[in-house]
A and B are shown apart, each in its own frame.
Chain A
Amino acid sequence: GENVEQHPSTLSVQEGDSAVIKCTYSDSASNYFPWYKQELGKRPQLIIDIRSNVGEKKDQRIAVTLNKTAKHFSLHITETQPEDSAVYFCAARIPSGTYKYIFGTGTRLKVLA
């Protein structure tokens, strides 16, 4: 069935280093891939997204890359800061009739000062 695998489940980096979170999706019809950040006790919020006709998108310190052939997409955070500490979720949207979003299991990122 439809599935999104996300790795790693936890990630610790030193402040200023880069962090990379990877996701793999199963349904080749998926056409939109958002990333959500959830701070402790708060709602998930969209931080960046990419459509299937684009290979890379960047917004300041964060970027997302998409490899449609491999069904693989990644979140890259450069120059990490303590406020980047949160749980990050990837998702894939499947355009079958009504839009359906499949989420990954989440990555807890800790940025160590």
Chain B
Amino acid sequence: DVKVTQSSRYLVKRTGEKVFLECVQDMDHENMFWYRQDPGLGLRLIYFSYDVKMKEKGDIPEGYSVSREKKERFSLILESASTNQTSMYLCASSSQGGNTIYFGEGSWLTVV
């Protein structure tokens, strides 16, 4: 069974702090994704990666960066957190050419 694990489920950070959201998958998937979920806006793609050290911007990359040093791990970084980044963040993975995206449980981030 595919497992996508987000290490932090609930975080509260202060404005201006640097925030790291970690995601690990155990199925040797090539593709990994970070989405942001907000009410009424659905799932919006922040960044995705199709290989180690490779990344592409999604629809809303501003204010975020990512890191993929190992195939199983994909990190989302907020360099200087702002209140408008309060949201639920979902990590996901899929195999190269595969159809199904598997999601993590989500990380609820509150920036105060």
A interface residue numbers (CB < 8 A to B): 6, 9, 32, 34, 36, 42-46, 49, 89, 91, 93, 98-106
Contacts and interface: CB of A to CB of B under 8 A. Distances in A.
Nearest to B103: A43
B103 A9 contact: no
Interface of B: 4, 31, 33, 35, 40-45, 48, 50, 56, 90, 94, 97, 99-101, 103-106
Contact of B48 (A93, A98, A106): A98
Which 6 residue pairs spanning A and B have beta carbons closest together?
Answer: A105-B42, A103-B43, A43-B103, A98-B50, A106-B42, A44-B103
Interface class of chain A by DSSP = strand
Contacts, number: 50
Given A34-B99, A98-B48, A104-B42, 14 more contacts: A9-B40, A32-B99, A34-B100, A43-B103, A43-B105, A43-B106, A44-B103, A89-B43, A93-B99, A101-B33, A101-B101, A103-B42, A105-B41, A106-B42
Given A9-B40, A100-B45, A103-B43, A49 B100 contact: yes
Contacts of A91: 101
Contacts of B31: 98-99
